Structure 1
Amino acid sequence: MIRFLCLLTIAVGVSTSHAQSSLHPWAREAQTKVAKIYGAGGLKELEAYQSGFLVSPEGHIATAWSYVLDVEPIVLLDDGRRFEAEIIHFDPAIEIAVLKIEASGLPYFAVPKTRTVNYGDPVLAISNLFNVATGNEPASVMQGTVAAIAPLDARSGTFETPYRGDVLVLDLIANNPGAAGGALVDSDGNLVGMLGKELRDAATGVWLNYALPADVFRKTIGDIIAGRVATTTQTKDPMLPRNESHNIQSLGLVLVPDVLETTPAFVDEVIEGTPAYASKLRPDDLILLVDGQRVENQRSLAKLLRTIDRRDNVAMTIQRDTEILTVVLKP
């Protein structure tokens, strides 16, 4: 359990030309690989921006999965170029996503296979915290060290985060608005982690400053970029007809009332003797993915189910309390 306070924060890069010239060349190079991401938010305590970093020369960007990505986001690169980004896929278990912009020949981070940092190693956190970099200004840089490596036990509001593996605990302020999804690099400018979202320790309520180690998300990013994720295709005998209701008869699910365009796909009731009942789905389960495809709301769930043949199994990724589970509904 993480219970560490932040000890030191040193800002070593800001958006002025003087600050850029004072950075070591590899630090400035790392800044060019960090992107500014703008999406949903704008309400009280919900900032509409965060950070990400390039992981391929063809415009693939890794970032934290959050409410900011409830809409297709806008991405600004270090040189000020602006792109409409597509959300390729996300992994709810480690809460990261991969975006794609139409560009090529971009500078990018190689994601390491193994963990290359340890306790006490110096690091730089590069992100667009507080939305300081709004155009072609470089992302902000903070200097610190890895204070510890420990399992994550954290919450956001009343919800506990699903990831329980090791994180890099940092002695710099990495939990400010906009920092989530930023890059953590070592003293040579190599990627070692992704800055985490704003979370509190589950036991003490202390704000956490941490990064997800790069080796944890390397395979996920590689699978997404390579297309090794499930896709769906239109069939002649869809799981759902066009006039489906909240009670998805063919599966045995009753969802909560669909009162808004963004109503989440929460299960309200499971009908006994149906595929949903046999798969042990429960009321209050939140459906996140169907056959590997993101479920944004109840309407997108219905749209996805219409692309699946009623004779095929349906794999669903759900969130149940703090767990991320996969269930298979067999017709």
Structure 2
Amino acid sequence: MKFNSQNFLTLNILFSSSLMILSSSNWMFSWMMMELSFMTFLPLMTQSPKISYQMMKFFIIQSMSSSLMLFMMTMENIYPNKINLMIMLISFLMKMGIAPLSFWMPMMFSFMNLYSCLLMSTIQKIGPMILMSQFIPFSMLKPSIMLSLLIGSISSMKQNKFKKFIAFISISSMAWMILSIYMSKLIFIKFMFIYYITNLFLIKILMQNNIISINQMWYKSLSMKIYIQSFMLSIMGMPPMLGFLPKWMILKNFTFLMGSMSLFLVLTSFMQSISFMKMSINNIILSSSSLKTTNKIMKEKVYSLFMIWTMIYLPILSLLNL
């Protein structure tokens, strides 16, 4: 995305509307700011080629979910009942692309530029997430949380394109975002900030090197591979990376979680780490095996990196009492 005065104004509106939603206690004002953020985001999508048809589908999905959301929130304030909450929940899930209504997100990410993908997976989730926490009981969200973790974890394992990889990781991360917002706004803000920063650094290096698929890393230097894969690990929330910190806070402080859900959170993260480490070993070592003169040095660097990660990882395990 080119940085010009129009984009600067657009980004200012996006961030300002998100801050106003976080500081507001009035649901109608929050809904208006959410829609302002949505309408401001649309021009950024037009900067991507071949996006017109997909943007129309995105507009229809977002408009339908927003209209349904407003109607059901009004009805809930006038005549509260479980049916209103159920329909409202459907509108929130569709708006944010949370499982089982996450079908449109990977499709949209494929046609957008990487920076638009970043904004959609972070800033555009703040408004709906805040409103959802004000109306929907946590107990109604447990099936969606577990489905998002499962779909995001399994689907991200078999992705070769970075855009779809980010899309499915975003679906998985939204489950953690839901948990954080039901804890406190402060933990949610910390989670969103860390997630935004790690995604921003990854997307910046991908755009600078014109990398669109994971296979393209085979032709990059070892330091570049380690750099990219470290940010990928952080986005997935793997220890000892920065992205693991908000997940640790959630698991440590979310005391009313059922034991089975806590176990499910850990298992889905473990599934991602196993798949990613297998891909990393193949990418770093096997793809460079033809360079016989430097093969030994590269392996030593990989083993040294593994030892550093282990030295950081073990203290974290002791802190978690695992």
- TM superposition score category, shorter chain reference: under 0.3
| Greater share of helix | 2
| Greater share of strand | 1
Under a length normalisation based on structure 1, what TM-score does the superposition of the two structures give?
Answer: 0.22
